[in-house]
Amino acid sequence: MSIHNPTEPHLAEDDMLQAVIDDTDLSTLQQQHMAECSRCRSRKERLENELAHLGRLAERYAPEPLKRVTVAHDKVRSPFSIRGFAFSAAAVAAAIIVVWATFLIRNQQQGSIGNLAQNMVEAERLMTEINVLVENALPQVYLDIVGETNVNLDEDFIDFLIPTNEGVPRISALAKKGSILC
Amino acid sequence: MTDLVIQARDGNRLAFEQLIDRYQGDIHRMIYYRLRARMDAEDLTQDVFVRAYRSISRIREPRKFRSWLFTIAVNRVNDYLRKKRVRSIFKSSDEGTDVQPVVTDFQDPPEALDQVLKEDFWRHVGRIAKKLSKMEREVFMLRFLDNLNINEIAQILKKSESTVKTHLYRALAKFKKEKELRQFLQEDLT
């Protein structure tokens, strides 16, 4: 047991904490004092004992593991686990997106082809109407008045109905009909 | 111990199982100290060793296996607590409380006394833990409950030794002011 020199001050509380953490962090003089002063040593030991007992009690009052850890086989991911479910959901969502995108692109292509076909049909119908008008410009209502919509009017009948005036003076033509000129 | 780690790193499963036998208790306790929930500690301990097993082939310094294992455990505990905090936001107030099951069985006097002391002890530890900052709490627990040295703690927390000492110093200063806990420890010592 060393004898403490009363002229040397004891370690302050801060230094005591420093000594508990790592006594080599103390200055040489403080380390020397600690080696010689039983009072400072006992203060340090008391604090160290409390902390050591804290660790021992924690160990005593903590439960033992219920089962031994096993790492023999890597866990197979169950599709019903949260991670498995999330993974499955992501996969399903990705599949839905791919299928939807495929259909969308296909529909767009089919839509453009459909539009083209519809335009062609419209154009054909328009041309048919024009051809009908060229053949017979009378609207249906007049044809109904005639009463014979499907009659085949030949050129002679037309000429009779609407005589041509090519090379024939208008007056003489009228005279032939017996008209009286004023 | 280093030989076992090297063997386990080289794919020897039996060597890894011996490491489990050696460290399971330490890791289980370390997790229990932080969560104070037995079943969660069981699950997380299992998870820590599964993770260690999967990545032991990448361990660079076999002699630092213990620090490496504790690093995995500290990270897992922090992840768990973070997720628990996030979950608690979406829970109603009555669901959010994580109360330990109360032991209602009548016990023999010595066991009942031990149970009282145990609850008292964890209540004191919980009280001081609340007074420490996150880093102070971590270094304090790693040093005095898990019995790791300063160098190991610095490796686990990826801090310098002087930083660890600074946090430890602050934690000890707060511990010294905890009269009730210190009295409890003194009485139990005597």
**Domain check: are B135 and B73 in the same one?**
no
Contact between chains at A57 and B121 (C-beta distance less than 8 A): yes
Angle at which helix B13-35 crosses helix B65-90, to 10 degrees, equals: 50
Give the three-state DSSP class for B158. Answer: coil
Chain A residue numbers touching B189 (CB-CB < 8 A)? 49-50, 53
Q: Report the residue of A14, A18, A21, A70 to disrupt the B interface, i.e. the one with the largest count of B CBs within 10 Å.
A: A21
B175–A51 CB contact, under 8 Å: yes
Place of tokens 């790693």: B142
pLDDT tens digits for range A32-91: 888 888 999 999 999 999 999 999 999 999 999 888 888 865 544 444 556 667 878 888
- Examine residue B98 and state whether it is found in any structural domain, yes or no: no
Regarding whether B112 and B88 lie in a shared domain, the answer is no
CA distance B1 to A10: 43
Q: How many domains does chain B have?
A: 2
**DSSP of chain A, one letter per residue?**
-----TTSPPPPHHHHHHHHHHGGGS-HHHHHHHHH-HHHHHHHHHHHHHHHHHHHHHHHHSPPPSS----SSPPPPPTTSHHHHHHHHHHHHHHHHHHHHHHHHHHHHHHHHHHHHHHHHHHHHHHHHHHHHHH--S-HHHHHHHS-TT----HHHHHHHS---TTS-HHHHHHHTTPPP-
**Same domain? B117 vs B145:** yes
Residues of B in contact with A25 (CB under 8 A): 165
Last residue of a domain, one of B58, B92, B126: B92
Q: Is residue B99 part of a domain?
A: no
Do B60 and B112 lie in one domain? The reply is no
Cα B49 to Cα B26: distance, rounded to the nearest angstrom: 12
Question: pLDDT tens track of chain B, all 190 residues?
Answer: 888 999 988 888 899 999 999 999 999 999 999 999 999 999 999 999 999 999 998 888 889 999 999 999 999 999 898 888 877 777 655 554 444 544 444 456 667 888 888 898 999 999 999 999 999 999 999 999 999 999 999 999 999 999 999 999 999 999 999 888 888 888 888 7
- Kindly determine whether residue A71 and residue B20, on different chains, have CB atoms separated by under 8 Å: yes
Of B92, B13, B81, B35, residue with least CA distance to A63: B35
> Would you say residue B127 lies in a domain?
yes
The predicted-structure confidence for A111-120, as pLDDT tens digits, reads as follows 677 788 888 9
B61 and B125 housed in the same domain = no
Measured CA to CA, the distance from residue A17 to residue B73 in angstroms comes to 28
The reply to whether residue B176 touches residue A22, judged by beta carbons under 8 angstroms, is no
Nearest residue, CB atoms, B188 vs list A53, A58, A72: A53
Q: Which of B37, B57, B92 is the last residue of a domain?
A: B92
- pTM over 0.80, yes/no: no
Assess if residue B121 is contained within a domain.
Answer: yes
- B81 and B4, same domain (yes or no): yes
Q: CA of B18, closest CA in chain A: separation in Å?
A: 11
Domain containing residue B128: CATH number: 1.10.10.10
ipTM given for this complex? 0.84
Per the model's pLDDT, the better-predicted residue between A93 and A71 turns out to be A93
In a domain, B45, yes or no: yes
Q: Does B103 touch chain A (CB under 8 A)?
A: no
Indicate whether B114 and B181 sit together in one domain.
yes
Sole residue written with tokens 């969660």 = B40
The reply to whether B63 and B125 lie within a common domain is: no
Measure the CA–CA gap between B19 and B97, rounded to whole angstroms.
36
Is there a single domain that holds both residue B119 and residue B184?
yes
- Structural domain includes residue B101: no
> Does residue B46 belong to the interface with chain A, where contact is any CB pair within 8 Å?
yes
In a domain, B57, yes or no: yes
Query: Taking CB atoms and an 8 Å cut-off, how many pairs form between chains A and B?
Result: 87
CATH number of the domain encompassing residue B16: 1.10.1740.10
A25 contacts B145? CB cut-off 8 A? no
User: Based on the domain organization, do B114 and B77 belong to the same domain?
Assistant: no
Chain B residue numbers with beta carbons less than 8 Å from the beta carbon of A58 are 29, 33, 121, 125, 145
B66: closest CA among B176, B169, B142?
Answer: B142
Residues B85 and B1 in one domain: yes
Q: What's the domain range around B23?
A: 1-92
Q: Report the alpha-carbon distance of residue B159 to residue A81 in Å, rounded.
A: 36
**Which of B67, B92, B117 is at the close of a domain?**
B92
Examine residue B143 and state whether it is found in any structural domain, yes or no.
yes
Whether residue B78 is found in the same domain as residue B114: no
